[in-house]
Structure 1
Amino acid sequence: MNDSLKKAAATTALVGGGLALWTALAAGASEALVPADGDFVDVPGARLHYVDTGGDDPTVVLLHGIYGQLRNFTYALTGELTDHRLIVVDRPGWGHSTVEGDHPTIEVQARMVADLIDALGLDRPLLVGHSMGGAVALAMALNQPSKIRGLALIAPLTQQMTEMPAIFRGKAPPAPLRGLAAWTVGVPLTTLTGPMVSKQVFAPDAVPMDFGTRGGGLIALRPSSFQAGAAELTDANRALATMVPRYGAIRLPVAILYGRDDELLDPVSQGDVTAGEIPGATLTRIGGGHMIPVTHAADTARWLRTATSA
């Protein structure tokens, strides 16, 4: 090896080591700032972290979106629903929930949540899904309908997307490269672009100053979160291609809520179209963007009470 190649190899190793150190420090800090809040239950293929608020029925199980965790709901929404028993879950592979092997598909996540419902002895709770959590909720309605009594979908991903939202481009490398990307460029890139991405996800609403800790946003600064996000961004269209043709067979009550000004998912193609495909489904719009469980918690809770009484 000549001197120039040796220098290039040394530089590459130095940069890679520095990025890996950045990643490790960021991951450790994020977990310290956003520790586990609740309990854990083991289901086949996963160990799921959840918070049980206790109280009487009706029981509601809540699933967050991509790059999220259960504090997306405990930030504000759960405080508006103290008259319900709420089971708020870190989806498999997110937050403090761990999985065995590769990140599970949308359908496998639904099965894992169904197993959690069984493990906790819940009697057909209402299932709430926000954003990507909405896709998981729909998968359960299609594949494990006896486990739940209905769906309440908040700004859900329900249809295939012709192109990935701009803020997620570059975050879904091919599967063989995800581990390397996660431990080198993934977390530093997320750290640097995080404020801009959050602003776009919340738009037109403002990002709460304490969302990183109280809302769990900082937990995304881990290599496992980068890999989970890459897997779901890649898998979503595949899963929805098989799910959408079956929507007409759903016989559970389904209510859909969208912010009128959602800039991440289109309320018409993701909301109106799907409401028209599911028998009896209803669609409601309120003011706000994609993160209405955080920014418009009182309005979201009022809608959810209507869904729970259906």
Structure 2
Amino acid sequence: MIDYLPNIILLLIALYVLMTLGYVAFSYRQAKRYEKLVPPRGAFTNISTGRLHYVDCGEGPAILMIHGLSGNLGHFDCGVIDELAKNFRVVAIDRPGAGYSERPEDHPANVRAQARLVAEVIQRLELDNPLLVGHSLGGAISLALALEKPELVRGLALLAPLTLPINDAPEAFSGLDIKSDWFRRIIAWTTAVPHMIRHPEPVRQQVFGPDEIPPEFALKGGGVLSMRPKAFINTSRDYRASGDDLPGMSREYAKLAVPVRVLFGRDDRILDPEHHGEVLVRRYPQIGLKMIDGGHMLPVTHPEACVRFIRDAAEAMKDRKFISRASPEVYR
């Protein structure tokens, strides 16, 4: 038996290598398949992180839409963009590192760094003081931009936004908590894609629940684009860095010099609407809050309610003004 041991070990190593190559080949083929099913739907421009994918439609006051974690601009394309484009110039972007937008792996992924990239987009596309519409992580990025460069924006209309530091991460994102860059790449190119395909329950139950996933989400909503190795890598980096700036940012909200409105679903299972909505406005009563029935993916599952909310915010904020400390009346 001892004589056969080296051969057995070599066989096991060979099997492991073949299995790994199989995972890599499968992940690569799936990524190409998803990109064929959901090709870029907009145009490209260049910012400091490389090519940026965006859609730009309609005429009127500008609205800039920023999606959340593991998302892309398709999250706004299930009814929100087309409806708002009847009266506004609507620009929706794939955040750098998401969808079809580029971001080097060594570029910082914290919220303030991402906000500076959005500022680049505003200037590159010559948007005139847009209303920022940020969903989830996109809400935190919008808040960071409003704190650092309020002169660039007219106001914020935030959908289920990440606003305050959190202690307990959503269970649905536990697989993203990877510290090592090299281990993240290994997971991305081996088990991540097959796992997401075989285990859709966290997305169905936590990310969308209690709402149903609309049938158009996979393609028109760009859902399948998140199941690519590159998307997994950047989503994990975004997730790991998402809380770095929130403690400092949340202490500065009293200094916000642009109006802010927040829409939350009462049954959100990803971001606690009491913590990120009701606690937020109790601390900073100049921020307006509206609650509706629904979960976390409001732009996809409740596009009509989002459109009404954004229209109301745009109307209230049409007369752009800056103040050092706003009263609730100014914001609402």
* Same fold, judged at TM 0.5 (above): yes
Identity of aligned residues (%): 39
Partners of 2:78 and 2:300 within 8 A in 1? yes
Structure 2 counterpart of 1:114? 119
Partners of 2:133 and 2:139 within 8 A in 1? yes
- Aligned mate of 1:60, from 42, 60, 63: 63
Once the two structures are superposed, residues 166-196 of structure 1 have per-residue CA deviations (whole angstroms, 9 ceiling, x without a partner) of 1111222123311111111111112222354
Q: Give the deviation of 1:221 after TM superposition.
A: 1.2
Partners of 2:78 and 2:216 within 8 A in 1? no
Structure 1 counterpart of 2:75? 72
Instruction: Find the aligned partners of 1:80 and 1:54 in 2 and give their Cα distance.
Output: 10
Structure 1 counterpart of 2:36? 32
Partners of 2:49 and 2:96 within 8 A in 1? no
- Aligned mate of 2:130, from 125, 128, 131: 125
Instruction: Find the aligned partners of 2:113 and 2:300 in 1 and give their Cα distance.
Output: 27
- Aligned mate of 2:256, from 239, 244, 250: 250
Structure 1 counterpart of 2:327? none
Instruction: Find the aligned partners of 1:157 and 1:98 in 2 and give their Cα distance.
Output: 23
Structure 2 counterpart of 1:149? 154
Instruction: Find the aligned partners of 2:37 and 2:180 in 1 and give their Cα distance.
Output: 29
Instruction: Find the aligned partners of 1:158 and 1:308 in 2 and give their Cα distance.
Output: 21
Partners of 1:250 and 1:279 within 8 A in 2? no
The residue identity in structure 2 corresponding to 1:211 is F
- Counterpart secondary structure, 1:300: helix
Question: 1:189-228 maps to which residues of 2 (within 5 A)?
Answer: 189-194=195-200, 196-228=202-234
Instruction: Find the aligned partners of 2:246 and 2:196 in 1 and give their Cα distance.
Output: 27
Instruction: Find the aligned partners of 1:8 and 1:244 in 2 and give their Cα distance.
Output: 53
**TM-score (normalised: structure 1):** 0.95
Which runs of no fewer than 5 residues in structure 1 stay unpaired? Answer: none
Partners of 2:158 and 2:262 within 8 A in 1? yes
Question: 1:1-310 maps to which residues of 2 (within 5 A)?
Answer: 2-56=6-60, 58-81=61-84, 82-102=86-106, 104-176=109-181, 177-194=183-200, 196-278=202-284, 280-310=286-316
- Counterpart secondary structure, 2:157: strand
Structure 1 counterpart of 2:320? none
Residue 272 and residue 159 in structure 1: after superposition, are their counterparts in 2 closer, same or farther (change >3 A)?
A: same
The residue identity in structure 1 corresponding to 2:234 is A
Larger radius of gyration: 2
